[in-house]
Amino acid sequence: MSRPHPGLGSPPPLPPSGLRITPLGGLGEIGRNMTVFEHAGRLLIVDCGVLFPENDQPGIDLILPDFSSIVHRLDDVEAIVLTHAHEDHIGAVPYLLRERADIPLIGSRLTLALMVAKLAEHRLTPVTVEVVEGDRRPWGPFECEFFAVNHSIPDAMAVAIRTEAGLVLHTGDFKMDQLPLDGRLTDLGGFARLGVEGVDLLMSDSTNAEVPGFVTSEREIAPVLNGVFREARKRVIVACFASHVHRVQQVLDAAEAHGRSVALVGRSMLRNMGVARDLGLLRVPPGLIIDSRDIDALPDRNICLISTGSQGEPLSALSRMANRDHSIRINPGDTVVLASSLIPGNENAVFRVINGLTRIGARVVHKGVAMVHTSGHAPAGELLYVLNATRPSNVMPIHGEWRHLRAHGALAEATGLPPDRIVLAEDGMVIDLVDGLARITGAVPCGYVYVDGLAVGDVGESSLKDRRILGDEGFISITVVVDAASGKVVGGPELSARGFSDAMSNFDNARQVVEEALAEAMRGGMTDKSALGQLMRRTVGRWVNENYRRRPMILPVVVEV
């Protein structure tokens, strides 16, 4: 899918004193975050993430940013700065490194550790440069300074990018939890220092721009989890994001306090928590973690499972448990905690899992009934703090759907920023910062690139349309054998269907209609196989529409003898 940009052609040449910003994902959507900065003929990339498919994209595993606008310029890329290790910010890195493997990856210790582990699965060994908050380093014409930000994963960072064209602050994903579990506060003082220096463009997380007030501290989750553990009489299964180290830490603490051993379930959960433990970011008391294969040896009241699948992903551990398709069985009386928020588009899948678990007899605790999750993104009150601390000359809301971007733009305008200094853009639009003014100057191709199994980019909108038709309407095939010399049908037509109707006798009338149409056409001299196939398609299509009001996929086959 490519978003058209009416009235926007290719951008003009970038002035030598200008900075070009091209978002290739993350605007108008939640995911696929990637922004390309260009100055003095060189490129710097911030984040390179994936978007997860929706129900109308059957068979698709992941959606990547469209690299086509930069693939011929990869030698100009100085580095990829990774703000944090969530999939929507790092998931597409392996696919970009397939094009040029030695692009340096810049990030914090945990971000790079999780990135290296992911790349090992793709048999890639990256060039990495570890940075910490306070570091200030040049990459070509870009000087990057890094700032601590609080998020739902440790070691997240914002990056300030200095060039001759001006200073840009890219916040990445952040919130301003004043009592974070690791004591690592968002560096609002650093942001204010940049404001004194002069921020020419603020690019800030917009996910919770519609939510008033301030974020609930992660520490508020602990008493609720303790209450859940205290009341549970059988096993406790907690589903959360495999990267949420702080949430997992609170579950471990609650399990330890209530005498429960913990088993981690799900490949990404095992991998990520292993990395966090090795780096000292996850405190695991000796003997607390057990292998999931050993849980049957302990009483149910002494078991806690931490699983993936909080978003209802069909192949995740929790979804399979709800469908009775997992080696770990959910039993009546078990307690399941969904310790996450709903990503837009996942609501039906999550409710399907909740209903499946409830049907089995489990007690399901989720954000709608208890404070078992708090967001990792700054709500409106905190976004105003950042706007007032940085006092930017221009603002470009990022990371959000259109409703989030517009709400963030309205916050910026409320602080006194003129409307013409607020850039509301979407993927593929080119924004040039020249002489202190940021404005949209053009657009580049920016479609969806689909990952389907091992294939990347082989599936497009045409194939997805066919898949949707097959899934919704089924298909009908018609086979006929014709003698081109005599101009007669010598075999068939034979009709078969899948996903359309189980009563094949219903096709007797259709078969007669096709026979008559073919006979008339061939009497008129039609012998071309393609033309006969189209005739059969139209004839069956009309018959199906008149009798069923449906539009299945119709596959005509003409065999010539």
Q: Which residues fall within 8 angstroms of residue 85, CB to CB, at 6 or more apart?
A: 107, 110, 111, 114, 115, 153, 155, 243
Residue of 112, 59, 69, 71 lying closest to 89 (CA atoms): 112
The neighbour count for residue 520, using CB atoms within 10 Å, is 11
As given in the structure block, the two tokens for residue 94 are 């392996």
What integer pLDDT is reported at residue 184 of this predicted model? 95
E runs forming strands in 250-349: 261-265, 303-307, 335-338
- Give 461-560's CATH code, choosing from 3.40.50.300, 3.40.50.1110, 3.40.50.620, 3.10.20.580: 3.10.20.580
Global confidence as pTM: 0.85
In the beta sheet, which residues pair with residue 74?
A: none
Contact in structure between 156 and 83 (CB atoms under 8 Å):
yes
Single-letter amino acid code for the residue at 222? A
Greatest alpha-carbon span in the chain: 89
Of the candidates 88, 241, 224, which has an alpha carbon nearest to the alpha carbon of residue 152?
241
Q: How far apart are CA 157 and CA 27, in angstroms?
A: 20
CA distance 149 to 180: 11
How confident is the model at residue 163, as a pLDDT?
Answer: 97
**What is the DSSP code (8-state) at residue 217?**
P
How much of the chain is in helix, strand and coil states, percent to nearest 5? 35, 25, 40
Mark out the alpha helices in 375-460 (DSSP H runs).
380-390, 402-414
Structure tokens that stand for 108 in this block: 């914090």
Q: What is the SS3 assignment for 233? A: coil
**SS3 state at 459:** coil
Residue 468's pLDDT is what? 67
Helix (H) or strand (E) holding 550: none
Our measurement of the distance from residue 447's CA atom to the centroid of its chain's CA atoms, rounded to an integer in Å, reads 15
Helix intervals (H) in 279-419: 317-322, 347-360, 380-390, 402-414
What residues are paired with 201 via a beta bridge?
168
CA distance 468 to 474: 9
Q: What is the pLDDT of residues 474-514, one digit of tens each?
A: 778 888 888 777 767 777 788 877 777 666 666 777 788 88
> The CATH number of 19-213+375-452 is which of 3.60.15.10, 3.40.50.1360, 3.40.50.970, 1.10.260.40?
3.60.15.10
CA distance 75 to 72: 8
Predicted confidence at residue 458, as pLDDT, reads 64
d(CA 504, CA 484): 29
Superfamily classification of domain 218-365: Metallo-hydrolase/oxidoreductase (3.40.50.10710)
Q: Where are the domains of the chain?
A: 19-213+375-452, 218-365, 461-560
CA distances from 343 to 168, 448, 535 (A): 29, 19, 46
| Tens-binned pLDDT, residue by residue, of the chain (561 aa) | 445 576 788 899 999 999 999 999 999 998 899 999 999 999 999 999 998 776 666 666 788 999 999 999 999 999 999 999 999 999 999 999 999 999 999 999 999 999 999 999 899 999 999 999 999 999 999 999 999 999 999 999 999 999 999 999 999 999 999 999 999 999 999 999 999 999 999 999 999 999 999 999 999 999 999 999 999 999 999 988 888 999 999 999 999 999 999 999 988 899 999 999 999 999 999 999 999 889 989 999 999 999 988 777 777 788 888 888 888 888 999 999 988 876 666 677 788 888 889 999 999 998 888 888 889 999 999 999 999 999 999 999 999 999 999 999 999 999 999 999 999 999 999 999 999 999 999 999 888 887 776 667 666 677 667 666 666 777 788 888 887 777 677 777 888 777 776 666 667 777 888 878 888 888 777 777 788 888 888 888 888 888 778 778 888 888 887
